[in-house]
Amino acid sequence: MPNQVTLTFNQPLNASVQVGDTAYYSNDVNGETLLIIGPITQVLRTGPGIPDQIVADLVPNIVGSAITTSSFILFSKTALINTSGLKGYYAEAQFKNDSTDYAELFLVGSEIFESSK
């Protein structure tokens, strides 16, 4: 059985964290050094006033005690499973500005790909 670590959070967990994601941490205030914790094996979402938790398998050579209460914890999704994009035949968008004040649209993005014919 691999070594495991249980991480407890005072704030609610991100809604998209799930079993199979990979957990990372950083003790660097600039976040430039990320260290892998390991794959998440359990996500324990509780209720108001009770901290949420995740359980992760520690990858070999990772010392769980290096993770502190001030560590920044993050996770990544597995690209093989969590791929997404628009599905359907078309999409339509319309942007309106009814204001008489100056307004500027900062950014609009889209994604297209050729599907089966």
Q: What is the mean pLDDT of the chain?
A: 81
DSSP 12: P
**Is residue 112 situated within a structural domain?**
no
**Is residue 76 situated within a structural domain?**
yes
Looking at this protein, which amino acid is placed at residue 14? Answer: N
* Torsional class of 88: left (φ above 0), alpha (ψ -120 to 50), beta (otherwise): left
**Is residue 9 situated within a structural domain?**
yes
Q: Is the pLDDT of residue 115 over 80?
A: no
How confident is the model at residue 62, as a pLDDT? 64
User: When comparing pLDDT for 86 and 46, which is higher?
Assistant: 46
**Is residue 45 situated within a structural domain?**
yes
What domain count does the chain have? 1
**Is residue 51 situated within a structural domain?**
yes
Looking at this protein, which amino acid is placed at residue 25? Answer: Y
* Host domain of residue 98: 1-107
**Is residue 113 situated within a structural domain?**
no
Residue percentage of the chain with pLDDT more than 90: 20
How confident is the model at residue 43, as a pLDDT? 94
DSSP 95: -
- pLDDT digits 0-9 by tens, 19-30: 999 999 998 888
How confident is the model at residue 41, as a pLDDT? 94
**Is residue 117 situated within a structural domain?**
no
**Residue 29 and residue 9: Cα distance in Å, rounded?**
19
CB 40 within 8 A of CB 75: yes
- pLDDT digits 0-9 by tens, 60-98: 776 655 888 888 999 998 776 656 555 566 667 888 888
CB neighbourhood size of 54 (10 A):
24
